[in-house]
Amino acid sequence: MTMADPQECFVSVDVETSGPIPGDYSMLSLGACAVGNPADGFYVEIKPLNGNAVPEALKVSGFDLARLAVSGERPEDALARFRDWVRRMAGPATPVFVGFNAGFDWSFVHWYFIRFLGQDPFGFAPLDVKSYYMGLVGCAWDDTRSSRIRPEFQAAKPGDHNALTDARAQAELFEKMRTARRSGAR
């Protein structure tokens, strides 16, 4: 059972990339899980589109473009599998893309969906956990950094730049925030 109303299925998504923008740079891995059901996860490593990379991005993720060019899945295959997983997870509900700094992750996922499959099951409106937190507790934008989020919302296991681990951590963070909102806690 996912943490959603009968009409929405919140899907926590995280990506690791070779740089700051899709198209010029590649999405190297994608991880996802349904909020409220993190054990059912999705993970894929993807062949790079080209050799463009920001060294710091590769250092953070630990990926090697040459290795991924051989071992990664073709983008169209990876995105088709992800689309099918999202549809299975959501069932009749609307899938809602949830990300921590959603604008970044969503931009890559959306670009890849449109480029390789012609459609995005999430549509045009990602839900940003940082913005949700800001609205929940009434803090300043600077206080939405992961290191500044209140301890009661932190994930038991922090992210480690593995896309699935990070998706699970941000799902837990978001789930705790939604629970606090429903109980009236701030």
* Active-site annotation holds for 110: no
The residue annotated as part of the active site, out of 47, 81, 115, 161, is 161
Q: Where are the alpha helices (DSSP H) in the chain?
A: 55-61, 65-71, 75-90, 102-117, 129-137, 163-183
Cα–Cα separations (whole angstroms), residue 95 to 15, 55, 86, 165: 17, 34, 7, 20
Contact by Cβ (8 Å): 100, 173: yes
Cα–Cα separations (whole angstroms), residue 186 to 42, 134, 137, 150, 151: 32, 11, 5, 10, 13
What amino acid positions are annotated as catalytic residues? 161
